[in-house]
Amino acid sequence: MEDLPEEVQGLIEELDEAAEDEDLDKIEDLTQKLLKTGVDLEAITLKKLSFLVMEGEEEMAQGWTRVAIQVGLDPFKTLIEGLAEGMNLIGKKYEQGEAFVPQLLIASSAMYSGMDLLEPYLKREKGHTSKPVTVVIGTVEGDVHDIGKSLVKTLLSANGFNCVDLGNDVPASKFIEAAKENRATAISMSTLMTTTMAEMPRVIKMLKEEGIRDKVMVMVGGAPVTTEYASQVGADVSPHDAASAATWLKSSVNDFPPECERWN
Amino acid sequence: MVAEMTSKERVLAMLNRKQVDRIPAITGSTMVKEYIEKSGGSWPDYHSNAEMMVNTAGLMHTDAGLDNVVVPFGMFIESHALGLDVKMGRIDIQPSVRSFFSKPEEVKYDNFLEDKYVKTTLDAIKLAKEKFPDAAITAFLVAPVTLAGDLMGAENLSMLSIKCLQKEKQMQKMKEWISVALEINKIYARACIEAGADALYYSDASASPNLVMPEFYYEIGVPAEKELGDFVHSLGCPWELHICGDTTPIVEGMSATGANCLSVEQAVNMSEVTKIAGEVPVVGNLTPLLMVEGTEEQITGAVRKALDGGAKGSMLGCGTPPLSTSDRLKTWVKAVADWSAEKL
């Protein structure tokens, strides 16, 4: 941004302020002014969006999403290269021990605030994507902790996965039903407490009993869950954190039979 | 050589940084299914029946050999007494809080001590004192940051923990929540001490770096815990502070609260945190799951590792899992006694 002409930089700063104040008229007006300068507003907007999501600036991320809509930026590009990119950036920082959970949460709020505005435009576009891979996700029965699970969901969504969120305190049978109903590719179970870890092998046992264990990949995670535990209970993986879960699943789906092959 | 002590003397000596005859083995939560069944308790009655509660918790002392008797069985009492929804769990799952308030003004606590679970806790403390005079009767309570998190919702706490560092208005909001939590904490603490608790065990699970910013803990968490701790000390009672997760970045702050001992999880390196904590005794660090499926060798190895790392008390890193078995609990206590005989 430093390379931009002073006039443009000034307008961007004014737009940041208008976005923070949620002054919609001013955002519209400043967007017009920026367009008239002839700068590459698409590149600037995407960069701003990813940065603002990473910083957890909810109002500003929303304001710049309005800019993207006003200038007619491709909504999928706005989502993937702007909003979701910001979530991935903070996810990577967290993975490297350079960020904390609250930073992921405010980034997640910022991303979703922009996504809410984009949603009507995303629906209008057809034939834009192939069917997304579905992940059934939830916190196991007896555990009401949502945060870790929601972060995994956010990172998976940011990476293009379709998440069926069962919430928290989810009975084992619900995981099975949802996996069947949605022809899921993966089940992601989370728990924060040692006291409820035993629910994870219960779900895996039920998958086997139902004869669908090989149709889904099983990810288990949460503070007390280790790689050894995951392998002991028959899960496929226990990613270190939310960002690693998305990275692992992205690479693993390539080697996994496609949905039609598994579920037919 | 220190003369043989009772369990209570041993725990209090550790908390007061005095010599002990052997390292105390203590616990946080004690809702162990095997002991509930053995003592004739039934779910969910043992949460509201002081006799059932004490009979179960007492087996941790008389059967397993632990040095304290801890009541109540979960971190839901305060929230229930304030009118929040609580799901009672199962015999092997502790109750959990299911709702929260929108703003601090909504929290009403005039009748806090009238709540049936609060009353059960107080009755259980009195009864435990009568039945087990040689054990350290310990009240298991929710500390201020975690209580504030229960009041406003854990996710809101987490997000506010960063926003309040950035904006004064958000800081004011955070301080209002903490202030309400502290008022409630003090009412409950006083009642527990008056009922005869020998020590208060405070879990500030949500003050963990896994949930809130460490800077927030130093700026808000430490002063809040210290304020509560000073109040507890003014009533003549020692207190223990537990925080979950990898607490290495905040142990220095935990040490500054005035807590008589710090309880840490298995995620930390005991040698490292005991160095940071200095004179303040550190306990904990044992993986709770060892009590469910650990072998004798694994349990003994973990106990010795924590004690070699400088722990002044042996404790699980988090609560005692409900599916813990009595033979494993006994193996734990024996390992503590053996280490003490060899190295103290």
Q: Tell whether the model's pLDDT for residue B120 goes beyond 60.
A: yes
B327 Cβ partners below 8 Å, 6+ apart? none
| Chain A hits for B325, Cβ within 8 Å | none
In a domain, B240, yes or no: yes
ipTM: 0.85
Lowest mean pLDDT among A131-135, A166-170, A187-191, B234-238: A131-135
For A144, which residue in chain B has the nearest alpha carbon? B96
In a domain, B93, yes or no: yes
**Shortest distance, CA A8 to any CA of chain B (angstroms):** 27
CB contact under 8 A, A145 and B92: no
What is the pLDDT averaged over residues A62-85? Answer: 93
For A197, which residue in chain B has the nearest alpha carbon? B289
- Give span(s): CATH 3.40.50.280, chain A: 134-258
CB contact under 8 A, B96 and A144: yes
pLDDT single digits (tens) B3-45: 999 999 999 999 999 999 999 999 998 999 999 999 999 999 9
- Give span(s): CATH 1.10.1240.10, chain A: 11-124
Q: Give me the count of residues in chain A.
A: 264
Q: Which of A98, A195, A196 to mutate to test the interface with B (most CBs of B within 10 A)?
A: A195
| Chain A hits for B211, Cβ within 8 Å | 101-102, 147
Lowest mean pLDDT among A4-18, A186-200, B163-177, B183-197: A186-200
For A58, which residue in chain B has the nearest alpha carbon? B163
* A194 vs B97, B213, B289: nearest CB: B289
A241 touches chain B (CB under 8 A): no
pLDDT single digits (tens) A103-147: 999 999 999 999 999 988 876 655 555 678 999 999 999 887 888
| Residue B31: DSSP 8-state | -
A102 touches chain B (CB under 8 A): yes
> What's the Rg (C-alpha) of chain B?
19
In a domain, B1, yes or no: no
CB contact under 8 A, B288 and A224: yes
In a domain, B128, yes or no: yes
A98 touches chain B (CB under 8 A): no
Residues spanned by the domain of B109: 7-343
For residue A255 the two structure tokens come to: 């080697």
CA gap B89, A36 in Å, rounded: 62
CB contact under 8 A, A144 and B98: yes
Q: A217 pairs with which residues across the strands?
A: A186
In a domain, B282, yes or no: yes
The CATH homologous superfamily to which domain A11-124 belongs is Methionine synthase domain (1.10.1240.10)
End-to-end, the C-alpha distance of chain B in Å comes to 9
**Shortest distance, CA B278 to any CA of chain A (angstroms):** 26
Q: Are B82 and B108 in contact (CB under 8 A)?
A: yes
**Shortest distance, CA A45 to any CA of chain B (angstroms):** 24
| Chain B hits for A56, Cβ within 8 Å | 162
Q: Tell whether the model's pLDDT for residue A148 goes beyond 60.
A: yes
In a domain, B2, yes or no: no
Amino acid at A167: G
Size of interface A-B (CB pairs under 8 A): 71
pLDDT single digits (tens) B140-179: 999 999 999 999 999 999 999 999 999 999 999 999 999 9
CA gap B297, B11 in Å, rounded: 26
Quote the Cα angle for A174-A178-A184, to 5°: 140
B89 touches chain A (CB under 8 A): yes
In a domain, B72, yes or no: yes
What is the pLDDT averaged over residues A147-166? Answer: 89
What phi and psi, each to the nearest 5 degrees, are found at residue A256? -100, 140
* DSSP states along chain A: -TTS-HHHHHHHHHHHHHHHTT-HHHHHHHHHHHHHHT--HHHHHHHHHHHHHHHT-HHHHHHHHHHHHHTT--HHHIIIIIIHHHHHHHHHHHHTTSS-HHHHHHHHHHHHHHHHHHHHHHHH--S-SPPPPEEEEEEBTT----HHHHHHHHHHHHTT-EEEE--SSB-HHHHHHHHHHTT-SEEEEE-S-GGGTTHHHHHHHHHHHTT-GGGSEEEEESTT--HHHHHHHT-SB--SSHHHHHHHHHHHGGGSPPHHHHH-
| Chain A hits for B214, Cβ within 8 Å | 100
Lowest mean pLDDT among A101-110, B57-66, B179-188: A101-110
Residue A71's pLDDT is 94
**Shortest distance, CA A257 to any CA of chain B (angstroms):** 36
What is the pLDDT averaged over residues B55-64? Answer: 98
**Shortest distance, CA B156 to any CA of chain A (angstroms):** 9
A240 touches chain B (CB under 8 A): no
State the architecture of A134-258 in CATH terms. 3-Layer(aba) Sandwich (3.40)
pLDDT single digits (tens) B246-278: 999 999 999 999 999 999 999 899 999 999 999
* Percentage of the residues of chain B whose pLDDT score is greater than 70: 100
CB contact under 8 A, A194 and B96: no
For chain B, the domain total comes to 1
A171 touches chain B (CB under 8 A): no
Question: Please, which pLDDT band fits residue A196 given cuts at 50, 70 and 90?
Answer: confident
CB contact under 8 A, B162 and A106: yes
CATH of residue B69: 3.20.20.210
